[in-house]
Amino acid sequence: MHPAIPRLIDLQTIDLKIAGLRAQLEAFPKRIMALDHKLTDARAAVASAKEAHVNSAKERKKFELDVEQWKERARKYRDQSGSVKTNEAYKALQHEIANAEAEVAKAEDRQLELMMGSEEIDGRMRHADADLKEAEASVAADRKEIEVQYGAKKKELAAATAEREKAVAPIPADMVTLYDRIAKRHNGHALAQVKDGQCKGCGLRVLPHILQLLTEDHDDEEVFRCESCGLILYSLEPLTAVNPDATSGNAASVTTT
């Protein structure tokens, strides 16, 4: 095994942890935004209920005035009907009175409808207010919790970054370059363990003589990469675990240069 491989394995573990922490940190603004949305929605519901309440009150006022106006007109026609000279004029006034009374009834009906509707609107307002209060409380608590989590993840990331600096320092520069290049292409993975004679990166069977070289305890400068997935191979198993019948598949050997 290349002497740098145990250090590269550690480095990969740290790098995967760093990548995981970064992904988690990137998700935080979205979580805060979701909280803001919750508040915006609750506030919009309150505003809309209030608007409905104001409009309903305005309409009720309008029909109230209509009722008064039509009643006033009917009264006027009735007063006039006592002093008309002709039967025709009297009939015409009676017709106007009936019309005005019908308008009064219509406006009163609308008033009643609005009154009944206003109960529902008042209920809506109460609900929206209660929902907003609840949302404000839960959002404040969630925000605090998220901020605590964010701070903790930031600290973990700082620690992991420091750990990486320490881990990478003793590794030869050419090995780090190779590692970085492979890791970039494989979602942070540069090394694959060989287990039961197979590359754990892709499942390809590793040739017996490569397996032997991987498991032997000598510090040569050769690095073996899987021919299929390209990851740097390493083995933590004793040689006896190898299936001697394995004949398919192969692995190429490359040097770091």
Between 8 and 100, name the residue whose CB sits nearer to Zn ion: 8
Residue 254 pairs with which residues in a beta bridge?
223
Using the minimum distance from each CB to Zn ion, give the nearer residue, 199 or 213.
199
In the bound complex, what is the minimum distance in angstroms from residue 182's beta carbon to Zn ion?
Answer: 11
Closest separation in Å from C-beta 229 to Zn ion: 3
The distance of closest approach from Cβ of residue 201 to Zn ion in the complex, given in angstroms and rounded to an integer, is: 4
Please say which residue, 202 or 246, places its beta carbon nearer to Zn ion.
202
Instruction: Tell me how far, at minimum, the Cβ of 224 lies from Zn ion, in Å.
Output: 11
Please spell the DSSP secondary structure of the chain, one letter per residue: --TTHHHHHHHHHHHHHHHHHHHHHHHHHHHHHHHHHHHHHHHHHHHHHHHHHHHHHHHHHHHHHHHHHHHHHHHHHHHHHTT--SHHHHHHHHHHHHHHHHHHHHHHHHHHHHHHHHHHHHHHHHHHHHHHHHHHHHHHHHHHHHHHHHHHHHHHHHHHHHHHHHHHTTS-HHHHHHHHHHHHHTTT--EEEEETTEETTT-PBPPHHHHHHHHS----SEEEE-TTT-PEEEE-S-GGGS-TT--S---EEEE--
Question: Least distance in Å: CB of 181 to Zn ion?
Answer: 16
Longest dimension (CA), the chain: 132
**CA contacts within 13 A on the Cβ side of 145:** 8
Nearer Cβ to Zn ion, position 2 or 60? Answer: 2
Give the binding site for Zn ion (CB under 5 A). Answer: 199, 201-202, 204, 226, 228-229
CB of 180 to Zn ion, least distance (A): 19
**Which is closer to Zn ion, CB of 114 or CB of 191?**
191
Task: Single out the residue of 207, 243, 173 nearest to residue 233, CA to CA.
Answer: 207
* Residue 25 or 202 with smaller CB distance to Zn ion: 202
Nearer to Zn ion, 84 or 202 (CB): 202
In whole angstroms, the minimum distance from the beta carbon of 185 to Zn ion comes to 13
Report the residue closest to Zn ion, judged by CB.
Answer: 226
